[in-house]
């Protein structure tokens, strides 16, 4: 018996920066998961993943990641995605530099 669908976001890595990015409802990419589209149906998720895969000049390795609705937008539900929202693992550049 297949598992029931749970909410997802489309995520990938930016081709030039290597930073984690998320697909917005407008079809743009954001470095902030709170701006991502929270996808509630499997059909929509597959369509959005196909859109992401058709943008290899921007996004590398797009995939669906589990997420939940949060106070300011989607929030990750898995530690891997939480880690990706924090940016590179050193403090010399990226999101962690701003922290």
Q: What is the pLDDT of residues 49-85, one digit of tens each?
A: 999 999 999 999 999 999 999 999 999 999 889 888 8
- Count the helix, strand and coil residues of the chain and give each as a percent rounded to the nearest 5: 25, 30, 45
Say if residues 17 and 4 touch (Cβ distance below 8 Å).
no
Question: Residue-wise over 32-54: b if at least 16 C-beta within 10 A, else e?
Answer: ebebbbbbeeeeebeebbeebee
Say if residues 50 and 39 touch (Cβ distance below 8 Å).
no
Query: Which tokens hold the place of 70?
Result: 């949060």
pLDDT of residue 92: 56
Closest CA to 9 of 26, 24, 19, 31: 24
Domain boundaries, the chain: 8-98
- Of the two residues 57 and 96, the one the predictor is more confident about is 57
pTM score, two decimals? 0.85
């Amino acid at each position: 018996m297949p598992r029931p669908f749970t909410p997802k976001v489309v995520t990938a890595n930016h081709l030039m920066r290597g930073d984690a990015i998320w697909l917005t409802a407008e079809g743009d990419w954001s470095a902030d998961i709170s701006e991502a589209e929270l996808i509630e149906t499997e059909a929509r998720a597959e369509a959005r993943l196909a859109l992401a895969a058709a943008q290899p000049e921007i996004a590398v390795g797009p995939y669906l990641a589990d997420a939940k609705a949060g106070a300011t937008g989607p929030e990750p539900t898995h530690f891997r995605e939480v880690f990706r929202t924090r940016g590179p693992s050193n403090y010399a550049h990226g999101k962690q530099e701003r922290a």
